[in-house]
């Protein structure tokens, strides 16, 4: 993108995948661009709207089983985001968003739903719900600072060979087999709520770096770093 361009961030189905406050990730991305002097706008794409394929970045949040199944069905029939990915757009998904972006997911009623296939992951229900704080050590390709967030999901997610885990779980459940999240190309998803990108600035800047085409230097916001260190200290003390 050129320096004069405004980054267009699509907030996908906030009326369906908006249960856990993950819409805040779009706000974080916009503000971190604006703090660097880069114009940005957030465009909500609600159920019934046509998803533009021309956006730079697509953000999906979390939701319950019925909402997740509705979102997957709707987006399979409205392939604007998938076409955006084909032309190089970036996608960031959380929780239900992760599962919808995968190949398939099974809801708690035993029904298996096809996903969008943008990540090589599949999800099935676990024996009990995973709820609580999570600490993740990211794969070095995706960062160096520990990731924090909270999880609230039943799913056990298997990452296939065409995707990479975002990182390894230090505390919590994550995908359910020692890893957390998944990445394929410029599609990245995680189980971390919080919103995840408010709690993990390095991850936010990784995503934005993919959008603008070059790594972004960190922003000096001492209050954010202080909160991060306090959260990590509390997790390590338990």
Q: What is the mean pLDDT of each run of 10 residues along the chain (238 residues)?
A: 76 94 96 96 97 98 95 97 98 98 96 98 95 96 96 96 98 96 98 96 97 91 70 66
Please state the pTM of the whole predicted model: 0.93
CA 4 to each of CA 28, 80, 85, 144, 182: distance values in angstroms, whole numbers, following the listed order = 21, 24, 22, 31, 32
**Known catalytic residues?**
95, 193
**pLDDT tens, residue by residue, 190-229:** 999 999 999 999 999 999 999 999 999 888 877 667 766 7
* Strands laid side by side in the 182-184 sheet: 40-45, 7-12, 57-60, 90-94, 187-190, 182-184
**pLDDT tens, residue by residue, 178-190:** 999 999 999 999 9
Q: Which of 41, 222, 189, 19 is nearest to 120 (CA)?
A: 189
Thinking of the domain 7-237, which architecture would CATH place it in? 3-Layer(aba) Sandwich (3.40)
């Amino acid at each position: 993108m050129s320096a004069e361009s405004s980054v267009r961030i699509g907030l996908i189905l906030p009326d369906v995948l908006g249960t856990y406050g993950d819409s805040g990730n779009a706000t974080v991305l916009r503000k971190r661009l604006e703090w660097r002097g880069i114009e940005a706008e957030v465009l909500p794409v609600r159920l019934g709207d046509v998803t533009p394929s021309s956006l730079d970045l697509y953000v999906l949040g979390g939701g319950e089983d019925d909402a997740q199944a509705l979102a997957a069905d709707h987006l399979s029939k409205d392939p604007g985001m998938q076409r955006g990915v084909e032309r190089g757009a970036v996608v960031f998904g959380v929780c239900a968003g992760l599962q919808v972006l995968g190949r398939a997911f099974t809801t708690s009623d035993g029904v298996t739903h096809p996903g969008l296939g943008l990540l090589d992951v599949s999800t099935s229900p676990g024996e009990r719900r995973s709820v609580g704080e999570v600490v993740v050590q990211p794969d070095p390709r995706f960062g160096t600072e520990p990731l924090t967030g909270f999880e609230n999901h039943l799913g056990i997610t298997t990452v296939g060979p065409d995707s990479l885990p975002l990182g390894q779980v230090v505390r919590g459940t994550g995908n359910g087999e020692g890893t957390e999240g998944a990445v394929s190309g410029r599609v990245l998803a995680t189980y971390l709520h919080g919103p995840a990108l408010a709690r993990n600035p390095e991850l936010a800047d990784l995503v934005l770096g993919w959008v603008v085409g070059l790594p972004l230097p960190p922003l000096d916001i001492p209050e954010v770093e202080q909160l991060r260190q306090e959260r990590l200290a509390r997790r390590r003390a338990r």
